[in-house]
Copies of this chain bind each other. A is one copy, B any other.
Amino acid sequence: MRKNRKGCDVPDATILRLPLYLEKLKLLQAIGVEDVSSRQLAESLDIKASQLRHDFHYFGGFSRPGRPYQVDKLVPALEKIIGIAEPVPTAIVGAGHLGQALANYQNLEMQGFPVRGIFDVNPKLIGLDFRGRQVQDMDEMEAVISKENIKIAILTVPAANAQAVTDRLVAAGVVGIFNFAPTDLKVPATVAVRNERLAVGIMSLSFKVKCILENQALDGPAC
């Protein structure tokens, strides 16, 4: 009989839209737009206005009835909800090609997720510099996580090592794992995992491409 859990009973589908709202709002803010209606914002994101209002309703009180949303109020409100009102320090674990690409990806820091540590076991990679930060031996991982108060880790190690590294991360106090390894991770219920599988993405695309091509071959000339 736990309580409301502070609005954590929000559907996943809604959570995934929050970053899109924030992104568009920041864009509007940058070009000096002050007010925006649910209809305007929704149309620019190809969704229905009622869905946007419904999403916002989980948190409530972004505006008052009759008045459009104020961009300058909404941006910080969303940032607070998402949890990026303050910069969120992160660690990249695994400095292979993908880890390096993410270490170079300045957008991450701009979105509020500065990289405060890059780790690998490969001696050849240790010491490599990415945007002023050097790859460290994985032995130092726990110490850095603790010192920098890192709660989110980006996991880019080979699938075979993913679970072992995950266990270390959880033990070190990490609460969220952004998993790029093609493996399901076992974690306690108090740890959030988001799997990002490139293979799934490109295969689902391949399925649709196959369908399109087959249908073009069938009734294409007739259309």
User: Could you list which residues of chain A lie within 8 angstroms of chain B, going by C-beta atoms?
Assistant: 2, 5-8, 10, 12, 15-16, 18-20, 22-23, 45-46, 81-84, 88, 90, 97-98, 100-102, 104-105, 107-108, 111-113, 151-152, 154, 175-178, 182, 184, 190-192, 194, 196-216, 218-219
Give chain B residues whose Cβ lies under 8 Å from the Cβ of A112: 206
Give chain B residues whose Cβ lies under 8 Å from the Cβ of A203: 18-19, 22, 82, 84, 111
User: With the chains together, A182 CA to B218 CA distance in Å?
Assistant: 34
Number of copies of chain A assembled together = 2
SS of A interface (majority):
helix
Given A18-B207, A206-B84, A211-B8; A219-B97 close (CB under 8 Å): no
User: With the chains together, A16 CA to B202 CA distance in Å?
Assistant: 10
Give chain B residues whose Cβ lies under 8 Å from the Cβ of A104: 97
Given A6-B215, A213-B151; A178-B205 close (CB under 8 Å): yes
